[in-house]
Each structure stands twice: as C-alpha cells, then as structure tokens.
Amino acid sequence: MLTMQEIRNHYFFTDEDAALLATLRPLAEANSQRLADEFYDYLLGIPETAEFLKDDLVLQRLKQTHREWFLSLFTGTYDNQYLHSLQRIGHAHVRVGLNAHFVNAAMNVVRRFVVDLLLETFPDRSERRRFRRACEKIIDINLDIMSASYQEEELRKVFVSHALESKLIAAAERFTHGLNLILVIALAGVSLSVVGLFAWDIVHIFEGSVEKGILSALGSLLILWMMIELMENEIRILKGGRFNILFFIGVIIVALIREILVSTLRHDALETQVFLAGTLLILGVVYYLVSKSQQPYAAH
C-alpha cells in the first residue's frame, strides 16, 4: 500500500503546494457553507444520489461532514493520518452503496467551485495559476485515494468469493471422492456375492440339475465379468478418468440375459419371455446409441 509521501511524489505535490493551500484556509472557511449548499443541491438533482438524502437530519449532518472535508483540503498538512481519513471516507461511500461514478462527478463540482472561487478572488493570472495548480493536485489526490477504496472493496469481494468457491469445490470433490470409494467397496461386496451365486450354481450341477446349473453359472460369470468392469471404471474415476455409463447399461443387459436363461429353464409363460426379450432389445438399442454418441469423445 502506498504511503502519503509516495502519493504526493506521484502528483508532484510539493511543500510549496502545501503552503499555498494553507494560505487559502481563511478563504475556504468563508465559503465552505456555500460550497456545501451547491454540492448537495447538485446531488439532490440526481435521482440516484437523492435517494441517500431524503432525511433532513441526515442531509444537514452530511453537509457539516462535507464542510469539514472541504476545509481539510487547506490544512497544509498532508501525512499518513490525512491518507487514512480519506480512506475512511471512501469506505463509507462503499458501505452505503454509492456508485463510484457519482463520487467522480461530485468531485468535479468541487473542482469547478474552487476554480471559480480563485477567479473571483485573485485577479492576477500568475498568482491565480499557482493556487489553482496546488488546488487541483490536492483534489486529484483526494479523488485517487477515495477511488482506490472502491477498487479495494471490489478486489476483496472477488478474493472472498474465489476463496469460498475454492473451498466449496474442494469439499465437493472430497465428498465425491468419498462416495466413489464407498461405491468401489460396495461393488467389491456385490462381486463377492456374485462369486457365491456362481458357487451355488456349480452346486446345482453336482446335484443333478446339469443344464440349469450350467446356464445359471454362465449367467453368473457374465455378471461377475461386468462387476469387474464396473470396479475398473470406478477406479479410473478415482484416478481422474471420465464416467462411462455404458458399463452400467452393460450390467443391466447381462443381468437380463441371465434372467432370460433362467426363465427359459423355468418354462415361464410366453408373455414373460417376450417381455424380457423386448426389454433386452430396447437396452441393446440404448447401448448402441450411447456408444455411438461417445465415439467423438473417445477420438479426443
């Protein structure tokens, strides 16, 4: 953050300028009320700024505050304490929600008032030019410091918003990662269950139900194969890979194939077998369409 001395140097504001402004203090005191009246007449003529001035007590208090600020232009002392006082004024404008445009426009009213006042008071052009340069420098410095308050506030909002968004995204990513871990564990448990189902189908073979046992075991192996594919897909996701819905559709298709095999062995009603076959056909079409839609992404 810049110090007041650094700001003064950037505007070529010298001790001579400060001394010139101090000599204008009596003139400023004599005309401070006139400046405050003209200043707030201007603000009352703008609908956006008039909204802040509806209360007469507030208006009178603001006029007094503005007179004090106007007189501070001509103290002759412009140190870091003066810098902090201007920063407080800028922050006050930000807190009430006053657009920076109106601060800049209103400062032009002050500038024009001071220039006219100097024109009325100092007929000598060279003398008037010296005072005018000093006045314009201090007005520009004031405007610079107040405007910086708006920039700091906007940056603070951006940084706070960015930090909050980053924390939320990080929390969501950790939560999603945790859910994927749970899903992998669940898939491992289901896969063990499928292994048990396969073992049960093998038992049927030795019990004499050879045809039923073999077909059921084949269906169980298909499901187990798809469970392995699902687990590998989830592991890829945990490593940063893309989600592939084809594996989930494939699991449903394999489970349906097993159900058709078992249904055939049970000699279920023709309507049931037709329904299962129709569902399998629809899932096959869905699988084909999804795989075609993913081909452009796979190419990249």
Please tell me the distance from the alpha carbon of residue 248 to that of residue 237, in angstroms, as a whole number: 14
Quote the pLDDT of residue 71. Answer: 95
Residues 6+ apart with CB under 8 A from 217: 198, 201, 202, 205
- Radius of gyration, CA atoms only, the chain: 40
CATH number of 4-163: 1.10.490.10
Res 193 pLDDT > 90 = no
Q: Mean of the per-residue pLDDT values for the chain?
A: 82
Average of per-residue pLDDT across 119-137? 94
Other CB atoms within a 10 A radius of the CB of residue 226 amount to 21
Q: Judge contact between 113 and 38, C-beta under 8 A.
A: yes
For residues 197 and 62, which has the higher predicted lDDT (pLDDT)?
62
SS3 content of the chain, % helix, strand, coil (to 5): 85, 0, 15
What is the per-residue pLDDT across 73-110, written as a single tens digit (0 to 9) for each?
999 999 988 998 998 888 888 778 888 888 889 999 99
pTM of the full structure: 0.54
What is the per-residue pLDDT across 147-189, written as a single tens digit (0 to 9) for each?
887 766 655 654 444 556 667 766 776 777 677 778 778 878 8
Quote the pLDDT of residue 243. Answer: 62
